């Protein structure tokens, strides 16, 4: 098997409108498809699908979804200080960071936040 990439990630949320606003506004993710129980946003080459908790889906989807169980890493092209200022303008609490560390490509700086459903989001930028 030759994996090309992850196509999409599904997050279960308690409040679909609030979660959509968070990811669309804070991360500037374009809105794509939506229904009463789901919202799809573009995140680079992948899709982020938000689904409202306790939604009945077809048999082909997982029905035992939970909140607070996702750690997401979003790679951005901004400086850490610009990221912090942006998050501050949206009144987003910083869980941890900025933290610099080595990864497989180079040195990164990461800032950790949580969304409204307590999913951990690592915002990462490469140090140039």
User: Is 60 exceeded by the pLDDT of residue 60?
Assistant: no
User: Between 78 and 68, whose confidence is greater?
Assistant: 78
Q: How confident is the model at residue 54 (pLDDT cuts 50, 70, 90)?
A: confident
Give the chain's domains with CATH numbers: 1-54 (3.10.180.10), 70-128 (3.10.180.10)
- Tokens 């506004």 sit on residue: 25
pLDDT digits (tens, 9 = 90+) for 88-125: 999 999 999 899 988 878 889 999 999 999 999 999 99
Tokens of 100: 């610099």
pLDDT attached to residue 56:
59
pLDDT attached to residue 76:
92
């Amino acid at each position: 098997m030759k994996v090309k990439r992850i196509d999409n990630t599904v997050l279960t949320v308690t409040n679909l409108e609030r979660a959509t606003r968070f990811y669309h506004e804070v991360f500037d993710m374009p809105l794509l498809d939506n229904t009463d129980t789901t919202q799809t946003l573009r995140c680079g080459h992948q899709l982020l699908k938000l689904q409202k908790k306790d939604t009945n889906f077809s048999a082909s989807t997982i029905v035992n979804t939970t909140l607070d169980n996702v750690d997401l890493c979003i790679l951005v092209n901004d400086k850490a200080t610009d990221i912090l200022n942006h998050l501050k303008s949206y009144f987003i609490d910083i869980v941890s960071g900025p933290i610099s560390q080595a990864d497989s490509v180079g040195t990164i700086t990461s800032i950790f936040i949580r969304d409204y459903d307590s999913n951990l989001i690592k915002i990462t930028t490469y140090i140039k």
